[in-house]
A and B are shown apart, each in its own frame.
Chain A
Amino acid sequence: EVQLVQSGAEVKEPGESLKISCKASGYSFTGYWIGWVRQMSGKGLEWMGIIYPADSDTRYSPSFQGQVTISADKSINTAYLQWSSLKASDTAMYYCARRIAGGGADYWGQGTLISVSS
């Protein structure tokens, strides 16, 4: 069974750093792109970036380029999303998802809620 299990909710202050994770199981981790999706409260879905764990080829949406870093450790089947300096505007739910042909996503993590407030 394919599963993507994300790390738990975080409460942070502006300026702090953060790295959240997405552990994959039930399939060949290196055979699919993994993406990260942001969903702000009451809003829609936005692709942030994607990574191909086999060679760590990473691509970012222009809106998120330079704002976050996506990485993966294929030895432990885990993808990461990190911030070096959080802002209040980063408050949102973040999902990882396994990408399929044509940019869709067939399996999703349960989401990680990030709250940034002073």
Chain B
Amino acid sequence: QSALTQPPSASGSPGQSVTISCTGTSSDVGGYNYVSWYQQHPGKAPKLMIYEVTKRPSGVPDRFSASKSGNTASLTVSGLQAEDEADYYCSSYAGSSNFGIFGGGTKLTVL
């Protein structure tokens, strides 16, 4: 199964909003409401930011929101802060015989 497609980079100025897309197929993103988003700072472990398409774990700022339309999921970071600069990965369930697939990652730069 191919990786989900994410743009390699995204950027925005402090206070602005930025949206990162994650495109899959009807066999993964489009077929299930199980899209997750992870934030990874350099040298650190990934951190769950969004699960089940739109849900935020406790402790994740509400500046982070997400949605899905068809085979594409999106993560929006509003009110960008310097600490949001990191790599972001999407992930989707892809059926019971699959562990789930990741996107290639998007490097978010806060200008």
B46 within 8 A of A: yes
Enumerate A21-47 residues with CB–CB distance to B below 8 Å: 35, 37, 44-47
Give complex CA distance A76, B89 in Å. 32
A44 touches B99 (CB 8 A): no
Q: What count of chain A residues pass the 8 Å CB interface test? A: 24
Q: Mark A101-115, 1 if CB is under 8 A from B, else 0.
A: 111111111110000
Q: Mark A94-105, 1 if CB is under 8 A from B, else 0.
A: 010100111111
Question: Chain A interface: which of B10-18, B19-27, B69-77, B100-108?
Answer: B100-108
B46 touches A102 (CB 8 A): no
Contact status of A44 and B105, CB under 8 A, knowing A103-B93, A108-B46: yes
Q: Mark B28-66, 1 if CB is under 8 A from A, else 0.
A: 000011101010000001111001100001000000000
A19 within 8 A of B: no
B3 within 8 A of A: yes
Q: How far is the CB of A16 from chain B (nearest CB, A)?
A: 25
Closest to A45 in B: B102
Closest to B6 in A: A44
B100 touches A47 (CB 8 A): yes
A17 within 8 A of B: no
Contact status of A44 and B57, CB under 8 A, knowing A103-B91, A104-B48, A106-B48: no
Determine the chain A residues whose CB is within 8 A of the CB of B52 once the complex forms: 101-102, 104
Partner of A104, one of B91, B98, B104: B91
A53 within 8 A of B: no
B46 touches A106 (CB 8 A): no
Question: Which B residues form the contact surface with A (CB < 8 A)?
Answer: 3, 32-34, 36, 38, 45-48, 51-52, 57, 89, 91-94, 98-105
Q: List 6 contacting pairs A-B, 8 Å CB cutoff, sorted by A.
A: A47-B101, A61-B99, A103-B34, A103-B98, A104-B51, A108-B46
